[in-house]
Amino acid sequence: MTNASESTPPPVGGVPRHDVPLAGRSGFTLIDGRQVHYLEWGPSGAPAVLCLHGGGQTAYMYEELGQALHRRYHVLAPDLPDHGDSDPADEFGRHAIAATLPALTAHFGITKAVLVGASLGGIVAITHTAAHADSVAAIVLIDIGHKLEPAGVMKIMEFMGAHESFASLEDAASEIAKYLPYRKSFRPESLRRNLRQRADGRWVWKHGYNRRLRAAAAAGVETPRPWETAVAGLDVDAAALRCPVLVLRGATSDVLSQQGAEEVAALIPNAHLATVAKAGHLAAGDNPESTASLVSAFLKDIGW
């Protein structure tokens, strides 16, 4: 496990090392024979907050939240299977990803946690809690519900499938800036968190969506509404939740409409709805300060 701070001087000779998040730690471990990369903040004995990133993202989307919570909580954010620097699982889907969480939490000695899930991570959080309710104290859902807006989801899929690779990190930053208008700027070097360099020098995403989408297109397989499979039965699982739930919607999200957010909040017995201002679907990155403030207030309100 890598354990260093931002102020640590670079090693002699410029030996590469893994990116360490602000006020946190970056590490690797083997769980059931599968490599898992994770970020971690705070003392391991503190109340646990397990953060699950969105599809096509990595654990680094929670860097600001982890930094905001690290003095009071043990924050753990893994790269989900086939994302970031974690190995794929044998299968892919909300149930398969959720099935990897019990071994993960056991590995870190976590018996009960608040789950924070963005997009795919929120789907997985609901799925996991439906099967392991006693292990979950509460849930924060970030811009996700059981009813999604087709146009917004297709926009995400088109972006993830549009670029087989990038010539440079600068090229990647330029394309991402067009896709994410709320982000003020991009440091090309920080994109090493989401991209890896191939032997031919080009940069590819650290997730399997791009490869699966392009393989399906090459094979002539039509996948016009794959998100329907991802949320199939999610309304039943959501309605069965009994823990406190905070539903956060990005104010200008084109994936979760205001009506969709209100419907999922009404469906869950003990849910509260709030809005992340000046943010779209990727609310935790679009407006990290507001997201962290809302999550912190929720954790205090539930006595966690």
Percentage of the residues of the chain whose pLDDT score is greater than 70: 89
CA 218/CA 151 separation, integer angstroms: 23
Note whether residue 1 is domain-resident.
no
Angle made by CA atoms 41, 46, 50, in degrees to the nearest 5: 55
Cβ–Cβ under 8 Å, residues 254 and 151: yes
The answer on 161 and 40 residing in a single domain is no
Same domain, 132 and 158: no
**Residue 258: inside a domain:** yes
Give the model confidence (pLDDT) of 133-154 as tens digits: 999 999 999 999 999 999 999 8
Q: Say whether both 155 and 140 belong to one domain.
A: no
Q: Give burial (CB, 10 Å; 0-12/13-18/19+) of 8.
A: exposed
Each residue's pLDDT tens digit, 223-242: 556 678 889 999 999 999 99
Which run of H or E residues covers position 118?
A: strand 113-118
Question: DSSP class of residue 222?
Answer: -
At 186 the pLDDT is: 66
User: Residue 57's domain is classified under what CATH number?
Assistant: 3.40.50.1820
- Any residues with CB less than 8 A from the CB of 164 and at least 6 apart, and which? 204, 210, 214
- pLDDT of the residue at 1: 43
Show the tokens assigned to 46: 């503190």
What is the extent of the structural domain holding 122?
Answer: 24-146+233-301
Indicate the residue type of 12.
Answer: V
pLDDT in tens, 76-130: 999 999 999 999 999 889 999 999 999 999 999 999 999 999 999 999 999 999 9
Q: Do 134 and 155 reside in the same domain of the chain?
A: no
- Indicate whether this model's pTM tops 0.85: yes
Residue 162 — pLDDT band, cuts 50, 70, 90? confident
In a domain, 19, yes or no: no
Distance CA 140, CA 143 (A): 10
* pLDDT (0 to 100) of residue 243: 98
Which residue type sits at 29?
T
186 in the same domain as 48 = no
Q: Is 237 exposed, middle or buried (0-12, 13-18, 19+ CB in 10 A)?
A: buried
